[in-house]
Amino acid sequence: MKSSMIQLGPDICTDFSAASSREWLETNGIGGYASSTVAGAGSRRYHGLLVAATKPPLGRMVLLSRFDEALVIGGERFEISCNQYPGRVHPEGFRYLTSFRLDPFPRWTYEVGGVEVERSLFMVHGENTTVCRWKITDRSEGSRADDDELDCHLELRPLVAFRNHHHLRRAEPEFETGFTTGNGWLAISPYEDMPTLYLAHNGAAVERTGVWYRNFEYAIESERGFPFHEDLFQPFSLTFDLKTDATIIASTSQKLASQAAELEKSELRRRAEIIVRSEIKDESLWPLVLASDQFIVERGLGKTVIAGYHWFSDWGRDTMIALNGLTLATGRPEVAKQIILEFSRHISQGMLPNRFPDEAETPDYNTVDATLWYFEAIRAYAEKTGDFDTVRELYKKLIDIIDWHVRGTRYGIHLDTDGLLYAGEEGHQLTWMDAKIGDWVVTPRTGKPVEIQALWYNALRVMESFAARFGDEAKRDEYADMAEIARESFVGQFWNESGGYLYDVVNGELRDSSLRPNQIFAVSLPYSMLDTVRARKIVDRVEAELLTSVGLRTLSPKDPKYAPIYIGSPLERDGSYHQGTVWAWPIGHFIDAYRRVHSKDPKAEKAIAAMIEHFKNHLTEAMIGQISEIFDADHPHTPRGAAAQAWSVAEVLRSCRNDG
């Protein structure tokens, strides 16, 4: 079958600003990754050629940061790497870069001294291993590369960091600068408590160097208000004769360079199978199908979802929201089942974990919505597969979750006398609008947030249907009664008659009239408490004030708290995170709601196709082949935040499938 491919031409590749603002990503299915910019200059502390997951899927460490690369052709030296330092870019290898392709993994083509050289890399699934290859590709008759006598060498100088991927390296005497060598491999181990980096290679010569490169500058870290300078150690140089392909395999285990070709074939087959299984015929969506796989990683005996790259771990909320699009919409229901069962092992006091921290062993349970999204994920899985045996296995746990919510669990989460779910304590943020700076909770939403009621009602109706299927008449009647009480209370308390939309939070006599996207879930979820007239008004109002080409604004531009741009210090950014900033993931539920209220409009699907097309265009803008976490609220909606986000990709894929 044809490969999934995105290609950038010389107009972008030879423009440092354009090439360094576009990133690429490779992942290994256990939490590790490789990533940098198209230009080659690192712009984040998280960039590296081997970022190993030492405690899968977490404990991620930047071992190999990058290579300094040079081609020596006929005795003339050409530097093809690229680094940013204070006040300058050096070398400027991007000037030789004629194309970048994601095909299906990153490939760069350089035209240097009359020779065309391709560099490629990929990660091995299930291992902390990155395979890097360089080869001459233009050997057409009459080309310089076709000259058998041509002296063409590649010189590589690895730059290593050996640090947590959240931190930065500075030169220090404790860093052990030695290395060991063997037949076709080298090993670097600067610290006893860190893994050894093995570099398998087919180089012709190794030369000890032992040099610190100082003051690399990371532009995005500077923009985000974090420290942005780093030192990297360069232990040796390797020389390769390009009469044959040059290969380096960077890994936490010993490899042979001769394994590279077979590893590449295996990885190409694996990715082709993912596309085939998805049954998606639209080739423009194939990059997103492969992108979906990059978030699915091993955890314990099952699977989980990395919420985003580069700094996120696996989050319960993100996992449950993304599960349908990442797995069911791509023809991988067995992965959905593994995720559902894995999270069932971490239920505590009727709650799913919010996240698994990088350092701590104990997950955080500070979320009210992750658990409610769990019901929707299970419903979607059962509807797609007909596997109600798995649901039956979980049924008692689901009943227990409902019971905990009725009598009360952490953070004041409990069922109020009006049948609606109350959540929140001072100083805690429990919904997906969870920005917090020190003791300042930016959008506390304490009380009864609108989407929590929608999710609670949906969960009750899901449980009613499960109880009916399993012949549990008492529970069926109980959940049906609870759902009806919730519906009557919800409409009476949340409908803003003068505005024609839903209040965002109700807390006693307080009604928060902020126009936010949270109300769309009251229309979009399979079980809705709203009549057709109110549902249509909500969709129209959200479309008019919140809908953009890349998702939904988190606050109306008419609101005095509206923040048009997400930039600046951590304080400034977190202060605007949900105060207007566009999030991509709610587009999926907006499309569900739009379909529901425009079901008789023959133009509706054309309008939805236009919404999806904007995201296809975005695949060449930030992280190539991925969808960003967030965007500026105002045009041109510059991509911000994590460059690759699981639920962004998942919800676009799910919307394209339109099958539950």
Contact 310, 642 (CB under 8 A): yes
| Local structure of 453: helix, strand or coil | helix
The H or E element spanning position 538 is: helix 532-545
Q: How far apart are CA 507 and CA 524, in angstroms?
A: 24
Question: What confidence score (pLDDT) does residue 438 get?
Answer: 86
Q: Which CATH class is domain 6-270?
A: mainly beta
Q: Which residues have CB under 8 Å from 213's CB, separation 6+?
A: 68, 83, 159, 231, 232, 233, 234
Q: How far apart are CA 634 and CA 617, in angstroms?
A: 18
**Taking residues 69-91, what's their average pLDDT?**
96
Token output for 3 = 């490969």
Question: What is the number of residues in the chain?
Answer: 660
Token output for 42 = 């690192």
Q: How far apart are CA 464 and CA 475, in angstroms?
A: 7
Q: Which residues have CB under 8 Å from 23's CB, separation 6+?
A: 35, 36, 37, 38, 43, 47, 622, 623, 624, 643
Contact 139, 152 (CB under 8 A): no
State how far the alpha carbon of 123 is from the alpha carbons of 105, 127, 351, 438, in Å: 9, 8, 35, 38
pLDDT tens-digit series, residues 563-580: 999 998 888 898 999 999
Residue 23: pLDDT over 90? yes
pLDDT tens-digit series, residues 502-531: 999 999 999 999 999 999 999 999 999 999
Identify the band that residue 300 occupies on the pLDDT scale cut at 50, 70 and 90: confident
Given the structure tokens 């190539």, which residue do they identify? Answer: 624
User: What does the domain layout of the chain look like in residue ranges?
Assistant: 6-270, 288-657
Inter-axis angle of helices 604-618 and 646-657, to 10 degrees?
150
Identify the band that residue 146 occupies on the pLDDT scale cut at 50, 70 and 90: low
- % of the chain exceeding 90 in pLDDT: 91
Least confident of 216-220, 235-239, 655-659: 655-659
Of 298, 294, 324, whose CA–CA distance to 307 is shortest?
294
Question: What confidence score (pLDDT) does residue 141 get?
Answer: 57
Residue 225 neighbours by CB distance under 10 Å? 14
Q: What's this model's pTM, rounded to 2 decimal places?
A: 0.96
The string of DSSP letters for 75-133 reads TEEEE--EEEETTEEEEEGGGGEEEEEESSSEEEEEEETTEEEEEEEEEPTTSSEEEEE
Given the structure tokens 């030169």, which residue do they identify? Answer: 171
Question: What confidence score (pLDDT) does residue 163 get?
Answer: 98
**Taking residues 258-277, what's their average pLDDT?**
97
Question: What confidence score (pLDDT) does residue 659 get?
Answer: 44
Residue 658: pLDDT over 60? no
The H or E element spanning position 521 is: helix 521-524
Q: How far apart are CA 638 and CA 652, in angstroms?
A: 18
Residue 140: pLDDT over 70? no
Question: What confidence score (pLDDT) does residue 138 get?
Answer: 78
Question: What confidence score (pLDDT) does residue 436 get?
Answer: 86
Secondary structure in 3-state letters for 266-326? HHHHHHHHHHHHHCCCCHHHHHHHHHHHCCEEEECCEEEEECEECCCCEEHHHHHHHHHHH
Residues 10-49 as b or e (16 or more Cβ within 10 Å = b): bebbbebeebbbbbbbbbbbbbbbbbbbbbbbbbbbbbbb
Q: CATH number for the 288-657 domain, one of 1.10.10.10, 3.40.50.720, 3.30.360.10, 1.50.10.10?
A: 1.50.10.10
pLDDT tens-digit series, residues 409-426: 999 999 999 999 999 988
Token output for 331 = 């023809």
Token output for 511 = 């009604």
**Taking residues 373-383, what's their average pLDDT?**
98
pLDDT tens-digit series, residues 621-649: 999 999 999 999 999 999 999 999 999 99
Residue 660: pLDDT over 50? no
Residue 143: pLDDT over 80? no
pLDDT tens-digit series, residues 249-265: 999 999 999 999 999 99
Given the structure tokens 């009006």, which residue do they identify? Answer: 418
Of 262, 270, 344, 330, whose CA–CA distance to 300 is shortest?
344
Q: What are phi and psi of 592, to 5 degrees?
A: -60, -45
pLDDT tens-digit series, residues 169-210: 999 999 999 999 999 999 999 999 999 999 999 999 999 999
Question: What confidence score (pLDDT) does residue 361 get?
Answer: 72
pLDDT tens-digit series, residues 452-477: 999 999 999 999 999 999 999 999 99
Residue 259 neighbours by CB distance under 10 Å? 16
Sign of the torsion formed by the C-alpha atoms of 547, 549, 555 and 559 = negative
Of 8, 199, 32, 41, whose CA–CA distance to 107 is shortest?
8
The string of DSSP letters for 111-122 reads EETTEEEEEEEE
pLDDT tens-digit series, residues 392-403: 999 999 999 999
Residue 360: pLDDT over 90? no
Amino acid at 207: E
Residue 332: pLDDT over 50? yes
Residues 163-173 as b or e (16 or more Cβ within 10 Å = b): bbbeebbeeee
